Structure 1
Amino acid sequence: MRAWPAADSRRRTAAKERADLATLQLGVRYRRVFVLLLGVIISVSAVVVLMGTIGLFAETRSRPLTPSEQNQYKQEEIARRWQAWPATGVFPDEVKYLGLDRAQQYAKRVGIAPETECAKGVDASVAGVLQNHGCVTMLRATYMDQTASFVITVGVAVLKDEEARVSAGEELTQDDRVGVLPVAFPGTVSERFGPDQRQRTSWVGAGPYLVFSTAGYTDGRTRAAIPPEEILHSELWPAAKSVGNQIAYFLADPPKVPPCTQGNVC
């Protein structure tokens, strides 16, 4: 039987409506999946950001320093003093020392030498040890005792760290004829102070520093010209060691450590 045109048109319309409805329902399902996926992504991102913010806050907020951090602070502060301090901070204008009968006296600074390479500020046998252990630089200054009878050169060898200083110290010779080279300043009581005028030398360790000291007479007498008994009983050497030890103490004096990572308030 031949279908009427109107009936056929209604069937095509109904089929199209069913197809449109199916497409719409599929689109709704896709949209729901997309919205759900987007919500998950946003939620995860928010959690990550929140955790990162909490972690950053925990890392940056002020808190008490651990014993390890306190020790590191001290080491770093001491190690940078040779650069952070002015030359007159490393070598004060006056340094206390003990004279005869343990009387307190003051050595007066004569002058400060320009910074130099480690090998150029000490004897060759000492230079090799310092270079092998990464000596950074050499600082030197000359003092005279309170009576202007003695001159004392103090040399500060800056090592890369305290461990290197300890290793270098273990290899240094105990020969008291070698050590830091004297620094003479023309027109002063130290002008005749040279290597031959050194009576004795020594050194002491302090932080990453090896602090050398050597002393002689302002009248230019050589070591060979001094009787051994006078060298042993002279006031010269105790004064020289005391001045060197004082400067070593200044350099390695433990700094005050802040209790917290951001100052005094945790």
Structure 2
Amino acid sequence: MRTWPAAGSRARAAARDRVEREALQQGVRYRRIFVMLLSVIVVVSSVVVLLGTIGLFAETRARPLTPAEQNQYKQEEIARRWQAWPATGVFPEEVKYLGLDRAQQYARRVGIAPETECGKGVDASVAGILDNHGCVTMLRATYVDQTASFVITVGVAVLKDEASRVSASEELTQDDRVGVLPVAFPGTVTERFGPDQRQRTGWVGAGPYIVFSTAGYADGRTRAAIPPEEILHSELWPAAKSVGNQIAYFLADPPKVPPCTQGNVC
């Protein structure tokens, strides 16, 4: 039997409509899925940003320093003083010391030597110890006592940290004939002060620093020319030791620590 054209057209049209409706419905479903995924991504991103902001605020907001942070602040401040301070800050123009009858007197700085390698500022036996423990540099200055009778050279050996300084100090001997090498300044009362003129030497630890001191007579007398009992009991060495200790105190004096991570207000 022959199919009537009108009936076939209606069937094909209905089929096309059905296919289009199914395609449209599928597109709507895909769009809904896409919108849902996009919404989830936006929500998750917002949560991540919010949590990150909260975390950043928690990290950067001012809060009291912990005891460990306070100690670290002190150590870092002390360790950088040899660079942060001017040379005249490390070696003040005048340093107090106690003279005869414990009278307060002042040693006067004659000059500051150029910064040098640790091994070049001390005797060889001391140089090896400093080098083995990572000595960074050596700073030296020379003073005279209030009567200009004694010449005192102070040397600051800068170690990389306090632990290194402690280790190096444990290996230093108590031999008072070796230590920092004197620095003389021509045309001054110190010009005759050399290694042979050293009467005694010593050192003290302070933070990451070993502060050496050595002293002699301004008239150029050698250690060999002085009776042993005078070397041990003269006024010279207490004055020299006091000057070295004062400079060590300046360098290692604990700084004032801010109470909070961002200053004085938490």
- TM-score normalised over the length of structure 1: 0.99
Distance, in Å, in 1 between the alignment partners of 2:226 and 2:34 is 99
Q: Give the Å deviation of 1:8.
A: 1.2
User: After the TM superposition, which residues 184-195 of structure 1 pair with which residues of structure 2 at under 5 Å, given as runs?
Assistant: 184-195=184-195
The Cα offsets for residues 182-215 of structure 1, whole Å up to 9 and x where unpaired, read as 0000011100000000000000000000000000
Distance, in Å, in 1 between the alignment partners of 2:196 and 2:19 is 112
Distance, in Å, in 2 between the alignment partners of 1:137 and 1:143 is 20
Count of matched residue pairs:
266
Q: Give the Å deviation of 1:237.
A: 0.4
Q: Give the Å deviation of 1:173.
A: 1.1
Q: Secondary structure at the match of 1:109?
A: strand
Distance, in Å, in 2 between the alignment partners of 1:117 and 1:15 is 96
Distance, in Å, in 2 between the alignment partners of 1:114 and 1:164 is 24
User: After the TM superposition, which residues 137-156 of structure 1 pair with which residues of structure 2 at under 5 Å, given as runs?
Assistant: 137-156=137-156
Match of 2:48 in 1: 48
Give the stretch that moved more between structures: 7-16 or 112-121.
7-16
Distance, in Å, in 1 between the alignment partners of 2:241 and 2:15 is 111
Q: Give the Å deviation of 1:13.
A: 0.7
* 1:11 and 2:11 correspond: yes
Match of 1:179 in 2: 179
Distance, in Å, in 2 between the alignment partners of 1:181 and 1:80 is 24
* 1:264 and 2:260 correspond: no
Q: Give the Å deviation of 1:111.
A: 0.4
Distance, in Å, in 2 between the alignment partners of 1:8 and 1:216 is 127
The Cα offsets for residues 161-195 of structure 1, whole Å up to 9 and x where unpaired, read as 00000000000011000000000000111000000
Match of 2:242 in 1: 242
Q: Give the Å deviation of 1:2.
A: 2.4
Match of 1:110 in 2: 110
List runs of 5+ in structure 1 lacking aligned partners. none
Distance, in Å, in 1 between the alignment partners of 2:232 and 2:127 is 27
Distance, in Å, in 2 between the alignment partners of 1:226 and 1:32 is 103
Distance, in Å, in 2 between the alignment partners of 1:82 and 1:233 is 33
Distance, in Å, in 2 between the alignment partners of 1:232 and 1:209 is 26
List runs of 5+ in structure 2 lacking aligned partners. none
Q: Secondary structure at the match of 1:193?
A: coil
Match of 1:209 in 2: 209
- TM-score normalised over the length of structure 2: 0.99
Q: Secondary structure at the match of 1:88?
A: helix
* 1:84 and 2:122 correspond: no
Runs of 4+ more than 3 Å apart: none
Distance, in Å, in 2 between the alignment partners of 1:211 and 1:232 is 21
Match of 1:132 in 2: 132
Aligned AA (2:153): T
Distance, in Å, in 2 between the alignment partners of 1:229 and 1:27 is 108
Q: Give the Å deviation of 1:113.
A: 0.3
Q: Secondary structure at the match of 1:108?
A: strand
Q: Give the Å deviation of 1:4.
A: 1.7
Q: Give the Å deviation of 1:15.
A: 1.0
Match of 2:221 in 1: 221
Distance, in Å, in 1 between the alignment partners of 2:172 and 2:233 is 25
Q: Give the Å deviation of 1:6.
A: 1.1
Distance, in Å, in 2 between the alignment partners of 1:28 and 1:159 is 74
Q: Give the Å deviation of 1:60.
A: 1.0
State the identity as a percent: 87
Aligned AA (1:232): L
Q: Secondary structure at the match of 1:52?
A: helix
Q: Secondary structure at the match of 1:176?
A: coil
The Cα offsets for residues 131-154 of structure 1, whole Å up to 9 and x where unpaired, read as 000000000000000000000000
Distance, in Å, in 2 between the alignment partners of 1:229 and 1:50 is 78
Q: Give the Å deviation of 1:233.
A: 2.0
